[in-house]
Structure 1
């Protein structure tokens, strides 16, 4: 029997409230990504007029350095904090004492400072390793490279300083603050990067990748300013400090807090996930590492261009969904575990488990429909779009072929992201270690495939896309086996094939892909010679796309209607 309020109306459950907030948070982050990426997109189009392929390749390497520092310093901590209620039991015991009523929030803040402690030495170590890997020709031909590296290091530290405020707001589901912070930071980065590039070009100065470095520094400073301001307000309201504060005065052996500051269970979970984080980051950024070893700087720039535009959908739509889903499934599956443990009938599946299975299947099916659209129309439309965006200087670089191939890689990115987000939400320590081992095996296969495609077959950046696709497919298969086994142990049915579009939609996709190839003409991936030809090709693609999308919507009208109702909050009972 459901709980009711004073008016006799059913009150929403905690799980339903969490689901609604997570869904709204995902929608907010998607909207944020659309706006911020649109601003970044416009700025990048201007920057492309001042960049060569070699400079773009070096800028990509610096971005990998920056992301590596952030990833190793905070990724495992973020996941561990989302999966555990740090100090919650202690908070319950101290509700009568206002000085201890927010021990849980303070524990989260304290853990955030570990990211700063890890990030500073990592920035120094990775910086020295990167400088040592550069050739004399690259250092000579790229102005201000060393200075730019130092600025990127400072930017990474500034962003990590905002981590204590970020993690406590993430646990409070304060998506509005995150939207504000990223909007301010993104706008600042675009303005500084573009202004520096235009200013130097007008004065005839060769500044190399310095505009990117200064832009990234402004991004880190913007995040820090917003999170510090909002974090200070939250700390005053909820009676905790943004500075590290002791949480225990008992003996270290009996205290749940290491060094009286850090919650031990979360530290252990973060440590166990560190190995997986290392492997995951190598696989995520392995394409850049591999292309830097096996190809020229020009090829690196071509792949970076295709990766930036091809991965736009992944960063724009899939990344915020992945992050919100990880938080949502972590909370929901925690309820599942508690319900299953306390249930008198272990064979009876819990409601949270059924909700998790239904939510995951719906999300994956939405990805399948979107993937059908991308793979049907994307390969033909991509070269024309790139010709309009990047200009004729990239026509002979092979970027069109690379971007066309990338359209088949985007669905793999999407499915892998949401599958690994779910695994990270529910996997035990032993399962995390097992996944890390398999990811290591897949990484060896990725390296071997990359060598064959890049050196033996000389496919260039296209070969790198194919190697990445093979590796991503292996990771998806592993996650699918794990997820099906997880729900089977809970007595919940989970059929992967249910995510497939209906036969009518798949048939329409097959026909549309052949028609669009014929109406575009020429070799697949070939960039048009001018803007007029590119626009004409896009018009022909749109003419094929309209009837295809209509058929797909008719075929999936039931699923689309249910998804719309769920987003409006009417798909779940109170």
Structure 2
């Protein structure tokens, strides 16, 4: 497939993923706002921090390395029989991790008060079972991503999330005494819908005329199961070694990604109630980051990995492909930088109002607004790191990945230490400060790698991190005006004054967007041609 075709498909995938994540975040946003009225903040803390950490840890450690390795470009078409065999190893690995983690969650961690938070032990087992159940669809997920089946993921995850939300709402209203059983059953329903959707799609797709037209490498449902053809090895051992390299890295990356939850869970620096408040603020603050930056990172990792040959320097790549990669990387950096700066500027002045509307005085009083203000600055670092690392991980050779594991190890140790120390000093804000410091170091490493990679070429994609002076001026004026507006109109003077504060922010945001349209023409063209599916359909 030509690099332009890969870019088109990756852009479409990113667009659909953004829409999917928007729906997810909106549904989760509304679900959390609803459940806050029916359950305690302690129960929210146990579900959203401890049990969700168990689920995400099990899933991440079982499949992340396989995903990155199997979606990496090698310059040749993969042997899909060997790839499928390798991907099925995620299931026994998940069972092994699940057994280990359930023992830790039940016997080594503090057990919540059964009177306030009932059914903790069964909930631990059910969340682990939900994670293992999701791994059943892993070979199909990788197949769908590799062949850019953009609608499958959207439909599957949409149906699963809707089913989860509906069940949670019904049970929270009708049977709140079930406690953690409510959220455990909802998680099982979510992963069950995912598996059913993926298997249902491939049962229909394999052997169809569409599969034949696309020259799909598998012919029947039996090809999705592990098997051996002729005398070839069960797995591609080069790919298996790359998976092992990514596995060592993914273990460290998981500590960095969920580090604050590990510190809260294992070191008990915050009560379950405080954990609940922190998690709600964290989810609210990262909502935009998750439904815009994460889909872009996932989709364009596929693009970079397919267009570039892993481990080759810039001179050894096809120069036409490198030119496209450099242009896309520059535009992506500019896009996430602009979005991150806007969130940072407006997040400072509207944090208290957002929390008051969302959860009332439970969230807007105390440390909630300060947490959200700090997180709005952290979003800028999240945005830049996501794009830079997705390129770096797609371009690195296996030896470079192994060396980077040492960097990740140092960052993980320093992050855990900083989180513990800063949390004792500043409470929940300490977690965000520790994240900022470590994210800054990760960005620095990626920027150095990208600079060296393109050093012997005429392209300089890091120019994407240089916003126009006019945009910086517009952002600075907006920061000053919205901060003054918050002091004058928000948030104790009634809804009329709050509406004035909102109007001031809307006017400032409009001015910033107009400035972007007038000064960042290359970025605007990239968004129109690559990230807006309806626009592209009109062009074709």
Q: TM-score when scaled to structure 1?
A: 0.85
> Alpha carbons of 1:531 and 1:130: their partners in 2 closer, same or farther (altered >3 Å)?
farther
Deviation (angstroms), 1:424: 1.3
Aligned residues: 523
**Contact 2:73-2:307 at 8 Å conserved across structures:** no
| 1:28 lines up with 2:16 in the alignment | yes
**Highest RCO, 1 vs 2 (Cα 8 Å, sep ≥ 6):** 2
Structure 2, unpaired ranges of 5+: 209-217
Match of 2:235 in 1: 262
| 1:381 lines up with 2:350 in the alignment | yes
Structure 1, unpaired ranges of 5+: 1-12, 90-103, 344-348
**Contact 1:194-1:211 at 8 Å conserved across structures:** no
1:111 corresponds, among 81, 86, 94, to 86
**Matched ranges for 1:430-449 at <5 A:** 430-449=399-418
Deviations 1:379-423 (A, max 9, x none): 111221111111222233421211111100111111111111111
Match of 2:513 in 1: 549
Deviation (angstroms), 1:540: 3.2
Match of 1:249 in 2: 230
- How many angstroms apart in 1 are the aligned matches of 2:284 and 2:393? 28
Instruction: Tell me which structure has the larger Cα radius of gyration.
Output: 1
Deviations 1:240-271 (A, max 9, x none): 43543433433xxxx4x2xxx32222111101
1:368 corresponds, among 337, 357, 376, to 337
Deviation (angstroms), 1:550: 2.5
1:160 corresponds, among 135, 143, 151, to 135
Match of 2:264 in 1: 291
Deviation (angstroms), 1:338: 10
1:48 corresponds, among 36, 56, 59, to 36
**Contact 1:45-1:390 at 8 Å conserved across structures:** yes
Match of 1:538 in 2: 502
Helix, strand or coil at the partner of 1:361? helix
Helix, strand or coil at the partner of 1:35? helix
> Alpha carbons of 1:145 and 1:379: their partners in 2 closer, same or farther (altered >3 Å)?
same
Deviation (angstroms), 1:196: 1.0
Helix, strand or coil at the partner of 2:89? helix
> Alpha carbons of 1:395 and 1:562: their partners in 2 closer, same or farther (altered >3 Å)?
closer
1:38 corresponds, among 18, 22, 26, to 26
Match of 2:212 in 1: none
- How many angstroms apart in 1 are the aligned matches of 2:112 and 2:155? 42
1:213 corresponds, among 184, 192, 203, to 184
Match of 2:430 in 1: 463
- How many angstroms apart in 2 are the aligned matches of 1:545 and 1:20? 30
**Contact 2:329-2:461 at 8 Å conserved across structures:** no
**Contact 2:8-2:530 at 8 Å conserved across structures:** no
Deviations 1:92-120 (A, max 9, x none): xxxxxxxxxxxx33333222211111101
Deviations 1:10-44 (A, max 9, x none): xxx71111111111111111112222332332222
- How many angstroms apart in 2 are the aligned matches of 1:272 and 1:465? 29
- How many angstroms apart in 2 are the aligned matches of 1:115 and 1:535? 51
Match of 2:523 in 1: 559
> Alpha carbons of 1:273 and 1:528: their partners in 2 closer, same or farther (altered >3 Å)?
farther
Deviation (angstroms), 1:488: 2.3
**Contact 2:313-2:453 at 8 Å conserved across structures:** no
| 1:232 lines up with 2:221 in the alignment | no
- How many angstroms apart in 2 are the aligned matches of 1:53 and 1:289? 19
Q: TM-score when scaled to structure 2?
A: 0.90
> Alpha carbons of 1:461 and 1:149: their partners in 2 closer, same or farther (altered >3 Å)?
same
CA RMSD between the two structures: 2.6
Deviations 1:263-314 (A, max 9, x none): 2221111011111010000110101112332222222112101111111112
| 1:454 lines up with 2:423 in the alignment | yes
- How many angstroms apart in 1 are the aligned matches of 2:114 and 2:478? 48
> Alpha carbons of 1:134 and 1:157: their partners in 2 closer, same or farther (altered >3 Å)?
same
- How many angstroms apart in 1 are the aligned matches of 2:313 and 2:255? 35
- How many angstroms apart in 1 are the aligned matches of 2:96 and 2:306? 33
Deviation (angstroms), 1:469: 0.7
Deviation (angstroms), 1:503: 0.4
